[in-house]
Amino acid sequence: MPRIAANGIELYYESAGADRAPTLLMIMGLGAQLTRWNRGLCEVLVERGFRVLRFDNRDCGESTHCTDLPRPDIGALLCGEPLAALPYTLETMAADSVALLDALGIEQAHLVGASMGAAIAQIIAATYPQRALSLTSIMSTSGNPLLPPPTPAAVMALFAPLPPAHDRAGVIANAIARHLPIASPGYPTSIGELQTLFGDEYDRAYYPPGVARQLAAVLAGGDRRALFATISCPTVVLHGRDDPLLLPACAHDVADHIAGAQLRLIDGMGHDFPAALTPVFADAISAAAGAARSAASDR
């Protein structure tokens, strides 16, 4: 699939399913390439009658790497010090997503986001309501500063420095070490599968500077609860009961502030996408889309 001009950059995308089928816009999380939406999940969703549109966010994968923008001081942000200027914001990334729909001639889509991608999807649903048929918010939060923090192990997994050498074997080992503290305890992914996943990502488009810029956008994103009051599309909030990075209270806060949102908490799920939970993810996405169809038929 090609890269396509959108919001002043180029986004790499892949589309599966019939062009005229209802579109699922799949928005991935921090530093994660479109391949984290695994092919098994995409195939199930296509079988259920959807067009699955997955893409690399800016500064990730094969989309535009914002090399002309400075690398932010994450330490300063964590200490509460504002940056003179952010490279870009979550709102910028939401505009990227909408521009991708524009470029492909898609008027409306069911929004599916994971972690940072869910925050982006929430912003789209609130600020571009005419484009959002439904929202599936997976393992995300509201940005409420009063919510409980991640576990210490999860914080270390997120903020630990990268290894000084960026050789393939070292990067894969580091990625696995970061992954294990946040992984789903009830649905473990084998080390061999993780080696393949992170090896493929390294070969495809390893680019750590983009992760820092995306992380700055997340940390500066602020509290979205007031924005949630404007979301009117059917919403499903899916979250792991064993998520150590964004605790279940984060999911409750999202669902509590979006009118009519359905909350689904999954035992044994952490902050990842184990293949064993493919039916769970597919059912949540299908439920949100189905509620949108029902609401449209009632009008």
- For residue 284, pLDDT over 80 is answered with yes
Percent of the chain with pLDDT over 70: 99
In this prediction the pTM is 0.96
Residue 152 makes CB contacts below 8 A (sequence gap 6+) with none
pLDDT band at 77 (very low <50, low <70, confident <90, very high): confident
Closest Cα partner for 57 from 86, 104, 25? 25
Q: Residue 74: its pLDDT value, please?
A: 79
Rounded Cα distance between 278 and 56, Å, is 20
pLDDT band at 73 (very low <50, low <70, confident <90, very high): confident
Q: Residue 205: its pLDDT value, please?
A: 97
221-254: per-residue pLDDT in tens? 999 999 999 999 999 999 999 999 999 999 999 9
Closest Cα partner for 238 from 277, 187, 290? 277
Q: Residue 299: its pLDDT value, please?
A: 66
Q: Is 39 helix (H, G, I), strand (E, B) or coil?
A: helix
- For residue 1, pLDDT over 80 is answered with no
| Average pLDDT score over residue span 81-92 | 85
Contact 219, 78 (CB under 8 A): yes
Q: Residue 162: its pLDDT value, please?
A: 83
Residue 97 makes CB contacts below 8 A (sequence gap 6+) with 25, 27, 55, 120, 121, 124
182-215: per-residue pLDDT in tens? 999 999 999 999 999 999 999 999 999 999 999 9
Rounded Cα distance between 221 and 273, Å, is 24
Contact 55, 11 (CB under 8 A): yes
- How far is residue 3 from each of residues 6, 14, 99, 148, 198, measured CA to CA in Å? 9, 9, 13, 39, 23
Q: CATH for 3-148+208-298?
A: 3.40.50.1820
